[in-house]
Amino acid sequence: MTPRASAAVAVLAATALLGLAPQAAAAPGGPVPQPQAATAENRAAAAEAATAPGTLATLSRFFAREGKVSPTAAQPRIEGEAIPVNHLSPEFVAGKAGAPVARLEFLASRAVSSDGQQAALWTARTEAGWEVVNIATGDDEFRYARLGAAKLPGGTVFREPQIDAWYVAGGSRVLPLDEDAVRAVGAEGATLGAYRARVARAYGDKLPGSAYAEGGAAGGYAEASAEGGVTPVAAAAGGALALGGGGVLLALRRRRAVAAG
């Protein structure tokens, strides 16, 4: 499995490499809540941010970072509309009545270079409006959205970022979409109740407001690595990352094989 390059935004400062806007979740005033749904208005705002001249210039440098293509020849373009990307909800982990299994974390736009490279632009609502907050190689967000729709039409595709697992949930079932999810819930999936019991055991003592979080272990960012990726500052026991209080968790991620079926 190869690393998934992630050009993340440093806390309260634009990254020197890509010059993207800072993620508002790190602002002194606290996290900027993301909308509950990807409305047409939100998608339009994300599309505008993704296709802005400055974003395309940044994409040219991103695609050229390994010398596969020159910045001038990269000619990046945005294909299709922005899609919602959901992550496991802390409220669900905490057992809050009526809480959905996942919540909207950001919108993703597919970027393609002239030589066929692909990347996902992560766009989120910040204090300054909708902005691109990260660029990640590959097409994970779009591929799993497609796989989830085929496996469980009308279901909610979401990622459990602590173990980089992708699922689709609908009705009373949670079904795996990749090998990490299969290891977590089995090839046939799990009931929603069984899944909540598992994530409650794994992360229930690491939620916002917990002693773990109050100790500063549930948020923040590490310095950028030599490869240009970033990793979360702290990890929970067994390498599971703590659930943050909101906003986008930026991390170097690995490509995952898709579960059969």
Q: pTM for the whole thing? A: 0.74
The closest of 32, 118, 39, 108 to 74, measured between CA atoms, is: 118
* DSSP one-letter string for 232-252: BS---GGGPPPPPSSS-----
What's the pLDDT at 5?
Answer: 61
SS3 of residue 144 by DSSP: helix
pLDDT per residue as tens digits for the range 11-66: 222 222 223 333 333 334 456 888 888 899 999 999 999 999 999 999 999 999 98
Tally of helices (H runs) and strands (E runs) in the chain? 8, 11
**Taking the CB of residue 171, how many other CB atoms lie within 10 A of it?**
10
**pLDDT of 155 strictly over 50:** yes
Instruction: Please state whether beta strands 173-176 and 118-126 pair in parallel, antiparallel, or not at all (unpaired).
Output: unpaired
Return d(Cα 190, Cα 68) in angstroms, integer.
Answer: 42
Tokens matching residue 189: 């999936």
Q: Chain-wide mean pLDDT for the chain? A: 75
- Does pLDDT of 6 surpass 90? no
Per-residue model confidence (pLDDT) at position 186: 97
CA–CA distance, 199 with 177 (Å, rounded to integer): 17
